[in-house]
């Protein structure tokens, strides 16, 4: 049940974010999804900025933090480094809505305290996610209990890294050179897909035989080591 709840939380985070993004973008005649930054929807002075920051950043971020906590708890059974990194990444995402950017003539005012806070929250979310990905890859490769997760982790990680690279290096990609908004949205797609792919695989049976997966026992609330003959 914990794994299914984790998947629902990840799906809810993605759903709320993308519905809000297209809804708030459509409400502004001067806003173009392919060229405008997502942060402009919540910048100081933007129409419906408070509503966007709550629905577009804070709510999805909190849902991602809960999803990340579920992923880490299933894998580790405790609040270890992976738990703190995934929760911190989600809270960083939410924090971008707590500290809206200050915009002037379409560009962020970097010396404004709120803009600095916005950038710090973005970095917290990104760096926490990258480090958490490294820890997750190491765990599934070093622990034979999680062999069934390897394909999902590889696919999710590659998609997330490719999407991040498309966003960061969009100036070097002809199709994205003049579409920074599209590049940023590709980055967000990769970000949410990582959570959905990992959580989705955790929600599936570990083996075709339906052997029990490692994680928290619903009967005792304690961490169990997983698929062993003694447990069947």
How many CB atoms are located within 10 Å of the residue 150 CB? 13
Q: Is 125's pLDDT higher than 90?
A: yes
DSSP 1-40: -HHHHHHHHHHHHHHHHHHHHHHHHHT-TT--TTTS-GGG
Q: Which position has the token pair 């297209």? A: 22
Q: Per-residue pLDDT for 7 more than 60?
A: yes
Distance CA 193, CA 68 (A): 13
Range of lowest pLDDT (39-48, 113-122, 178-187, 204-213): 204-213
> Residue ranges of the alpha helices (H) in 27-149?
49-52, 59-76, 81-98, 113-142
Name the helix (H) or strand (E) containing 157. helix 150-168
Q: Is the pLDDT of residue 48 over 60?
A: yes
59-101 pLDDT, tens per residue?
999 999 999 999 999 998 888 899 999 999 999 999 999 999 9
Of the candidates 209, 230, 212, which has an alpha carbon nearest to the alpha carbon of residue 2?
A: 212
> Which residues lie closer than 8 Å to 225 by C-beta, 6 or more apart?
145, 214, 231
d(CA 57, CA 191): 13
> pTM of the entire structure?
0.86
Contact 70, 198 (CB under 8 A): no
Q: Please tell me the predicted confidence (pLDDT) of residue 211.
A: 41
**In this structure, what are the phi and psi dihedrals at residue 216, rounded to the nearest 5 degrees?**
-80, 130
């Amino acid at each position: 049940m914990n794994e299914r709840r984790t998947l629902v939380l990840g799906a809810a985070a993605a759903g709320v974010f993308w519905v809000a993004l297209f809804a708030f973008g459509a409400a502004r005649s001067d806003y173009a999804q392919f060229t405008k930054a997502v942060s402009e929807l919540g910048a100081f002075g933007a129409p419906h900025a408070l509503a966007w920051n709550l629905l577009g950043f804070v709510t999805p971020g909190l849902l991602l933090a809960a999803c990340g906590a579920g992923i880490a708890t299933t894998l580790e059974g405790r609040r270890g480094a992976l738990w703190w990194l995934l929760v911190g990444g989600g809270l960083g995402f939410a924090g971008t809505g707590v500290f809206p950017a200050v915009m002037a003539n379409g560009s962020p005012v970097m010396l404004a305290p709120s803009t600095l806070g916005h950038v710090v929250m973005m970095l917290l979310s990104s760096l926490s996610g990258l480090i958490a990905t490294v820890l997750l890859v190491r765990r599934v490769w070093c622990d034979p209990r999680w062999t069934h997760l390897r394909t999902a982790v590889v696919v999710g990680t590659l998609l997330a890294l490719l999407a991040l690279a498309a966003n960061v290096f969009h100036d070097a990609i002809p199709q994205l050179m003049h579409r920074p908004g599209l590049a940023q949205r590709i980055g967000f797609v990769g970000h949410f897909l990582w959570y959905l792919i990992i959580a989705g695989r955790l929600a599936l049976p570990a083996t075709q035989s339906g052997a029990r997966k490692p994680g928290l026992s619903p009967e005792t609330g304690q961490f169990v080591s997983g698929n062993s003959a003694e447990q069947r």
